[in-house]
Chain A
Amino acid sequence: MSTTERVLLLSETGGLALAAVRSQPGLRVAREAAGAESRLWVRGLPPTGQLALAVRQLPTISTFGLDAEGRLFPVASLTPTTQLPSELEWQPIQEFLRLELPTAALPGQLPAPHPLRLVPASRAMEGAALLTTLAAWQTYASSAPEIRLQRLRFAVAGPERVLVLGTPLPSVPGQEHWLHHNVLLPAGLEFESPLLALLVAQKYNPHGNALLLFAADGSLERIPHAYLVPATRSAARLTTGSSEHDKHV
């Protein structure tokens, strides 16, 4: 007798224990239908020598030596007792036992949302935008020198809300804002942490195609750059007011 490898036979339920040897190299598994139940064959073990502890601990029905002709020899027996079924479809044990992510037993806990708060600024920043009224803006545009208008753009959200952008800003009543990462913050205020401007810009303006206008109470409006038009006298005069941009509170 000359066996080439050892073969294990397990019941279907015993096959659950195969997870413990899934990392053993070279093991292959096949399922054999046997009446109402099925059995599992495991091969790829060396013909002699002590097997790994995890293999020895498997709940096997039988352990055989396999020769080149497919005959199965019980341990310490010189006579084969059966033949390894030839129709078995062998799979590497890693494919036979596929990994699955476990279902979480308990839901994870989300961190509590951090409210955006504006605090008094530690330093004065140059104004970049002015929130004013349409009437004030139209009066200014009608009389302002053209060279001042050429440096401005504006967007209108209604009779009471006109955003004028550029420098120098017009000298008209309104709320001045300063610009940081496409975020417009009221003059004299800033985020609690300077990093928040970047995070807010990434969250609400990922493509950088808009301005985020913050109010002192932390609410914000998203104003696409496309809504800003060059400041000309005719553009200001012919504006009647509209409201199309997104508002987040």
Chain B
Amino acid sequence: MTLADFIEELLTRGDVTVTSEPMPPTEEAQPVVLALLQRYHTQDAQQQPYTAPAFDPDAALWAARYLYRAAQLAVVRELDETAVQVWLQDYAGALTPEAVYSADLTLRYLPDLLHLAKGLAPGDALVSHLQTTARQWPLSFVGGDIVGEVPVAVLAHPSLRAAYVDRIIGARDLRRARQPEVAELVRAALGRYAAELWPEFEDLFSTPTNATEPD
């Protein structure tokens, strides 16, 4: 099993295989993995709103490794908290739009893994680490119950902003949609069809909660 095999399985079949041992650097054959990820980036960008950010190989490769190792840690229960800290390194580069989108190509699968890990051991160090990662990469964790600050970097880019709103609406994620900056974007996306397209969102803002009647 190489990292390329793992990515190929993930992107073509939707299921993955992991080994119990750490993957040797030689099996993380970067050129092959990067070629796979770049091809997927080209295909996925066709589906993104506006012009998707360019491919960032460092961020894409980091995220692919992160996902593989997180999957290993989720199923190999004898690996302890130290292994989590050693294997799951945070991204060292800047969170540019290119990095956010390129990492999202594989990080978008992490919410399912987090859900699985929480089911296995809610208090696990892996769960805690993934929740921290969820706050750092909000675009990839829409729909989950970890809601961090409003992702300014995501909202600053037209394509990422629209994709973020798409995902919030698609996941019916009211926790994120109620954040004021995000709510404006969701309202603009739904337009005058909010009651038809997402009635719960419409109800959220049409029902007065703390209104005071004037004298």
Residues of A within 8 A of B (CB): 142-148, 168, 232-234, 237-238
Contact of A233 among B49, B165, B169 (CB under 8 A): B49
Query: CA of A168 to CA of B193 in the docked complex: distance in angstroms?
Result: 8
- Considering the complex, which residues of chain B in the window 160-178 have a beta carbon less than 8 Å from any beta carbon of chain A? 162, 165-166, 169-170
Residues on the A chain within 8 Å of B50, using CB:
142-143
Are A233 and B47 in contact, with the CB atoms below 8 A? Answer: yes
- Number of B residues near A (Cβ < 8 Å) is 17
Q: How far is the CB of A122 from chain B (nearest CB, A)?
A: 26
Complex: chain B residue closest to A171, CB-CB: B191
Q: How far is the CB of B200 from chain A (nearest CB, A)?
A: 13
Query: Once A and B bind, how many residue pairs between them come within 8 Å at the CB atom?
Result: 39
Are A238 and B46 in contact, with the CB atoms below 8 A? Answer: yes
In this complex, which of B49, B50, B162 has the most chain A Cβ atoms within 10 angstroms of its Cβ? B49
Are A146 and B170 in contact, with the CB atoms below 8 A? Answer: yes
Are A233 and B46 in contact, with the CB atoms below 8 A? Answer: yes
Q: Is the interface of B mostly helix, strand, loop or mixed?
A: helix
Query: CA of A238 to CA of B191 in the docked complex: distance in angstroms?
Result: 27
Are A147 and B170 in contact, with the CB atoms below 8 A? Answer: yes
Are B48 and A145 in contact, with the CB atoms below 8 A? Answer: no
Q: What 0/1 pattern do residues 7 to 50 of B give for CB contact below 8 A with A?
A: 00000000000000000000000000000000000000011111
Q: Verify if B197 is at the interface (C-beta below 8 Å from A).
A: yes
Complex: chain B residue closest to A168, CB-CB: B193
Query: CA of A144 to CA of B47 in the docked complex: distance in angstroms?
Result: 11
Complex A-B, nearest 5 residue pairs according to Cβ-Cβ distance, in ascending order: A145-B189, A234-B46, A146-B166, A234-B47, A147-B169
